[in-house]
Amino acid sequence: MEIAPVAAAEPQRLAALRSTGLLESPPDPAFDELVNLTARLLGAPIAAFNLVDVDRQWTKSGFGMDNGDEAPRADSFCAHAIASGDGPFVIPDTTQDPRFQDNAMGLGFYAGTPVTAGGQRIGTLCVAGEQPQAPTSDDLETLRVLAAAITAHVELSRRERERAEETATLRRLGDVSSRLARVSDAAELESELCAAACELVGAHAAVLWAAVGGGNLVASVDVGLGIAGTELPPGHGAGSRVAFDRGERDYRTRADGIGLEGWGAAAFQPLAVGDRTMGVLSVLWKSEPSALPERELQLLELLSSEAAVAIERTTTLSELEKLTRVDALTGIGNRRAFDEQLVRELKRSEREGNPVALAMFDLDHFKAYNDTYGHPAGDRLLTEVAAAWQGCLRATDSLARYGGEEFALIAPGCTESDAVALVDRLRAAVTEGQTCSAGVAFWDHAETSDGLLARADAALYEAKLGGRDRTRMATRPGTAPAPTEN
């Protein structure tokens, strides 16, 4: 049997077929009634609504054959029918037609009219039998009318399916937007965004590119690629860079050059708030779609709009949160930051058993310095001292302005002699010829953070009462506190 030709628009035809959801679907009473009516009105032993797939013919509804029957496309009369045009395709006697004399189905006659979806011929309503038979013009008109009825039901079902899918998609988009709105941590939001993008558009990988100093883009988070930390300089030809520089989406298939091996298609969607582009959300599919995935690209654009606002919100919250933990004058941690860090260090010490030293500092005669030189000079002294001390610390140390002219230091992992030496280095680094006093306490792995602070503070006042410009070790827990300064 001669094989039916395949039209140039075959990808579009197959996409229309897939959009119906009919392949492998359960029986539909409406289709069954129309097929049975076709068989009765035309007096045919076989009638069927057949769908022509990539390499097979599949029976959606049949009379004289079972629903779900299938045959190779190479043996399909219906494949010839959809290739011949929109009108009826009739073979009254296969024994007289060289194309079908040896057909594998053993048919003597065939007549079929295309059934369409979205303007594409996806299959046929057909009648057939083992003996030759010549349908009349009335038979063919009846076949055309009934095929039109099946087409109408296909379109109705397809639109209902599209509406259901659209509703589900919008619900998923709403769920994603709601999840993004609830996230307040920037890193968590970025990870959630990449996962949500894959979920929403059926992608297999996603990367969030963020704009950083120097004009570069850095892959801050990725799912499915393992390229986090990669940077793209201005002018780079990668799709993400192009989308960022132009401020518009870039879509590429394998033939366009995605830049990553093994991927079929990729979309690069800028993240923008107003006129400011803050990054790019890239998604990748393993296989190349048969047509431009317009629906997925629209969803990606909607998601990126929600994501850009969410990222800006979490960034602002992060900056505000940071400001609540930074001393505005000196730029080092404030009392809140110090108290939180102290709790963390004590918990770490409890787990690991390492010592923790805490030191309290007070600039000597600071009030007199302010009265003599003025408050601007006093502020400048505090700033210079904080900067000088920062240069003396180890990476594990934490320094904060505790209040007024008082500073506090957490020094984990120090022995007593190491801690005193570190504190004395800081005291020696005080600028403007001024001095300071310090008290040092070691945690006993039992007292509270407030108790440790109280002992260090008591040692500080002992240093001040002892003549200032000196370091004092705190008494052990449970002993009488040092006297306070009048």
pLDDT in tens, 232-260: 888 888 888 999 989 899 999 988 888 77
Residue that is written with structure tokens 């129309």 in the block: 34
Residue closest to 240 by CA, chosen among 280, 181, 272: 280
pLDDT of residue 486: 40
CATH number, span 10-161: 3.30.450.40
Average pLDDT, the chain: 89
Residue 220 has pLDDT above 70, yes or no: yes
Residue 460 has pLDDT above 90, yes or no: yes
Candidate CATH numbers 3.30.70.270, 1.50.10.100, 3.20.20.70, 3.40.50.720; the one for domain 335-473 = 3.30.70.270
Judge if 10-161 and 183-323 fold alike in CATH terms: yes
Residue 443 has pLDDT above 90, yes or no: yes
Residue 419 has pLDDT above 50, yes or no: yes
Can you give the residue ranges of every domain in the chain?
Answer: 10-161, 183-323, 335-473
pLDDT of residue 479: 55
Residue closest to 49 by CA, chosen among 118, 41, 65, 40: 65
Residue 380 has pLDDT above 70, yes or no: yes
**50: phi then psi, degrees, rounded to nearest 5:** -105, 145
pLDDT of residue 127: 97
Tens digits of per-residue pLDDT, 55-89?
A: 999 999 999 998 889 999 999 999 999 999 999 99
**Separation in Å, CA 377 to CA 268, 368, 381, 405:** 53, 12, 6, 13
Structure tokens at 446: 């039992």
Residue 4 has pLDDT above 60, yes or no: yes
Residue 478 has pLDDT above 90, yes or no: no
- Homologous superfamily of 183-323 in CATH? GAF domain (3.30.450.40)
pLDDT of residue 485: 46
> Could you give the maximum distance between any two Cα atoms of the chain, in Å?
123
Residue 216 has pLDDT above 80, yes or no: yes
pLDDT of residue 290: 72
Q: Range with the lowest mean pLDDT among 104-118, 231-245, 413-427? A: 231-245
pLDDT of residue 484: 47
pLDDT of residue 483: 47
pLDDT of residue 260: 78
Between strands 398-403 and 276-285, the pairing is unpaired
Mean of pLDDT values over 313-332: 75
Residue closest to 392 by CA, chosen among 426, 434, 421: 426
